[in-house]
Amino acid sequence: MAQEENDETSILDARKELSELEKAIRSYELQTLLGDKDDKRNAIVAINAGAGGTEAQDWVEMLLRLYLKWAESRKMKTRIVDHLAGDEAGIKNVTFTVSGPYAYGYLKSEHGIHRMVRISPFDANGRRHTSFASVSILPEIADDIKIDISEKDLRLETFRASGPGGQHVNKTSSAVRITHVPTNIVVQCQNEKSQHRNKDLALKILKARLYALEKEKQDREKQLRHQSQKEIAWGNQIRSYTFNPYQLVKDHRTNLEVGDIERVMNGDIDIFIDAYLKWLQN
């Protein structure tokens, strides 16, 4: 009707509404693929540097930025729980939470080893480097799920939290490290100011890891999402990010390829999430 009347304003409004409607439909389509009981939960994300030294630690920081931007675009809240700065640059490992509708359901597509290929800014000779980082995704356990943990099975250690590069060391031992002796699972939190709060957060992450471990035992068909990480190196990656000599992001499970790597690194990973959920259902 707007075209018949040459009403440019109405045409622009219709295009805008159509674009918003398409986004809403894609969102509903994704939610139909999120049928697991844990999909609606918040997520706990851990990123660890693998083979590649300083370059791998920089890669961890780049992935952290990617996921924080993705969460921001979906208006989800994030909170860094633990953070260990790299020796020269980047981050050795980081753990953070993502809170929002279906946070775990969306982010479970990222569980695995991520490989980066680029000309390293840390190499004076300008050589191309390959680096790896592992991304672990766990569902945050709600209060209605009871995970029994005996105090005698826990080894609690406290230490002084530190900022990037070992700076800003606290005068009190507020950071907490908890080891679950039967499974040898170790979690730690140091970003809260109080030891009590760090302990609460560490226990929450420990419960999530124990829950995932038990779920894996009970349902082997879901092992793909909860299995222990393989060696963080060649041959085990779920996705490759090539910056040089060409630009390409490829998911090795779905074979989806995207050439606009800058867009992906700025948090636009919905296309990979969508493809993974459909691949998982099939």
Q: Residue 23 and residue 37: Cα distance in Å, rounded?
A: 24
Query: Percent of the chain at pLDDT above 70?
Result: 89
Q: Residue 54 and residue 161: Cα distance in Å, rounded?
A: 22
pLDDT, average across residues 260-281 = 94
Tens of pLDDT along 19-32? 889 878 877 777 78
Q: What backbone phi and psi angles, to 5 degrees, belong to 190? A: -145, 0
Q: Residue 255 and residue 131: Cα distance in Å, rounded?
A: 20
The 10 Å CB-count burial string (b at 16+, else e) for 201-219 is: bbbbbbbbbbbbbebbeee
What's the one-letter identity of residue 14?
A
The pTM of the full predicted model, rounded to 2 decimals, is 0.74
Report the 10 Å Cβ neighbour count for 263.
13
Torsion of CA 40, 111, 148, 187, to 10 degrees: -130
pLDDT, average across residues 113-131 = 89
Who wins on pLDDT, 128 or 51?
A: 128
pLDDT band at 123 (very low <50, low <70, confident <90, very high): confident
Tens of pLDDT along 4-14? 888 888 888 88
pLDDT band at 126 (very low <50, low <70, confident <90, very high): confident
Tens of pLDDT along 53-71? 899 999 999 999 999 999 9
